[in-house]
Amino acid sequence: MTDPMLEISDLQKTFGGITALDGIDVTVDPGITGLIGPNGAGKTTLFNCISGYLAPDAGTVAFDGTDITGDRTPEIVREGLVRTFQIPRELADMTVRENLLLAPRGQSGEALTNAWFRGDEFAADERRTRKEALEMAEFFELDHLLEEPASSLSGGQRKLLELARVLLTDPEMVLLDEPLAGVNPTLEAKILDRIHELESQGLTFLFVEHDIELIMEHCDHVVVIHQGRKLTEGPPSEVRSDQRVIDAYLGEEL
C-alpha cells in the first residue's frame, strides 16, 4: 500500500448559516480518483479549501505528507498541487501562447531584477518554456491558435487551455473541476488517454465529473460526498450499487 497523496481530515467550512463542508474526511491515493456528489454537495468548496482559495474553519489538509492547511495558493502550487477552475479562467486579453507560457514554474525572467539585468539567462529559459508550451499546445490541438487572443477560443477550447496550462506547471497532483464538460468526444478520449498516461508517470488526479459512466470507466476509486460530508467511497463497481448513493445522487441503479 502506497502512502496517500492527499489526506483531508475533519475539514469544515461554513458560509454564514450554510455549512458547505461538515467535517469531511477524504484520502486520495496515487492514481485517478473520482469525486462525485449532487449539486451543492460541497465539491467546489472542497477544492477551494484544498487549493488555498478559501481557508477552512477547522480540520487539516496534508499533501504528500506535508501539512498545507491554510497555506496560500502559490505555496501550494509550488508543493506540486494545482487545480483547474470549473468555469475556465483564460486570460482573455493575452494570446493562447502567453496563457501557456505563464504556467511553467521557476522561470528566471519572472523575477524583476532578472528581467532587467539577466537577458541572456532568461532567454535560455524562455526558449525552453516556449518549446514545452508548443508541445502542450500541439497535444491539445491548440497549436494553430497560439497567436490568437484567448478570448477568441470556444468554450471547449477554453477547457483545454485551462488543462494545458495546469499541466505545464509540472504538478504532482491535479484537481480537475469538470474538465470534460463541453469537450467533443474524440478530444475527450484523447484527454483521458493523456490523463492515464500521466497517471502511469506518477501523477495523481482528483476528478469532479457528472458523467457517471466516465467516472466508472476511468477512475480507480470513487468518493461520494453529500451535504458536506463523505457519503461513501470505494471502487466504482461498489459505489454504483450503494443504495445511499443511488438515493442521493444517481437516482436509479445503472
Partner 1 sequence: MALADFLVSLVTFIAIYGLFGLGLNVKFGFTGLIDFGHVAYFMVGGYVTAVVTMPAQITGYDGLGGYALPALLSAIPGGTVLGWLLGVAIGMLAAAFVSLLVGVPTLRLREDYLAITALGVATILNEVVLSEVWLFNGPFGIRSIHEPAAGLFPLGLGSFTVNLLVFGGLSVLVFAYATYRVANYVRHASGRQRTLAVVVALGFAAWYFVQPLIGASNAVVTLQTNLTFLFDPNAGPNGGLDYDRFFMLLSLAFLAGGYWWMQRTINSPYGRVLRAVRDDEDVPRALGKETFRYKIQALLFGSALAGAAGALYTIHIGFISPEQFGAMITFFAFASVIIGGTANNAGVVLGTAVFWAINSGTQFLNDYFPSEYAVQLSASRLILIGIILIVILYYRPEGILGEQDYDISLPGEEAANANVAGPEVGSSDASTGPEADSSAASTGPEVGSSDATGGPTVDDANGGGVDD
Give contact residues for partner 1 (rule: CB under 8 A): 51, 53, 73-74, 77-78, 82-83, 85, 89-94, 98, 101-103, 105, 107-112, 114-116, 119-120, 122-123, 125-127, 129-131, 134, 138, 143-144, 146-147, 165-166, 169
Nearer to partner 1, 60 or 108 (CB): 108
Residue type, 205: F
Smallest gap, in angstroms, from Cβ of residue 98 to partner 1? 6
Nearer to partner 1, 58 or 92 (CB): 92
524562455: which residue's cell?
A: 126
Cβ contact 203:28 at 8 Å: no
Smallest gap, in angstroms, from Cβ of residue 123 to partner 1? 4
Nearer to partner 1, 129 or 204 (CB): 129
Cβ contact 192:207 at 8 Å: no
Set of cell numbers at residue 178? 469538470
453529500: which residue's cell?
A: 226
Q: What is the DSSP letter of 248?
A: I
Smallest gap, in angstroms, from Cβ of residue 31 to partner 1? 23
Nearer to partner 1, 91 or 250 (CB): 91
Smallest gap, in angstroms, from Cβ of residue 32 to partner 1? 21
Among the residues of the chain, which ranges form H helices? 43-50, 73-79, 96-101, 112-117, 119-139, 155-167, 185-200, 212-218, 236-240, 243-245
